[in-house]
Structure formats: C-alpha cells, structure tokens
Amino acid sequence: MTEDTHKKFDCIRFVREVRAEIARETAGMSPEERVRYYRTYPYNDPVLERLADPARAGKGADPAASPE
C-alpha cells in the first residue's frame, strides 16, 4: 500500500470490535444461554437471516452439544 492510499473501511478493526461487543454481551453466559442468544439474534442481513432460520427452528446440529 502506498502512502497516498487511504482505507475507507478497516475490516480487521471492524471484526475485532464486533467480537469484543459480542464477548461483552455473552460474558458469564452458560453454553445454553449463548445458544439462545445466537438463535434469537436479530440479523440485519436478509441472507444471514435466512441462514439462521433453520437453526432457530431446531433443524440442524445443536451447537451446544458436545462431540462424542
């Protein structure tokens, strides 16, 4: 990157900020509470919303279940 190039959006910083926010919101939650948190999260992106629907309906793998 040259000196005259300026980033308009810093993806790495954004991801770190979002992760930190989620970590604050889920701190102290049990695994079951975190699953409930993610399944009820209001996604702003229609694609993410569509992908989350099967998990909310109980279809698919249970993320709280431990592998055997």
Domain parsing of the chain, residue ranges: 30-60
Contact between residue 26 and residue 37 where contact means Cβ atoms under 8 Å apart: yes
Q: How far apart are CA 25 and CA 63, in angstroms?
A: 18
User: Residue 68's pLDDT is what?
Assistant: 45
Stated length of the chain? 68
User: Residue 7's pLDDT is what?
Assistant: 79
The dihedrals phi and psi of 61, each to the nearest 5 degrees, come to: -70, 145
Q: How far apart are CA 39 and CA 27, in angstroms?
A: 17
Residue 63: pLDDT over 70 = no
Please name the amino acid found at residue 60: G
Residue 62: pLDDT over 60 = no
Q: How far apart are CA 13 and CA 22, in angstroms?
A: 14
pLDDT digits (tens, 9 = 90+) for 8-61: 999 999 999 999 999 999 999 999 999 888 888 888 888 888 888 887 777 655
User: Residue 39's pLDDT is what?
Assistant: 83
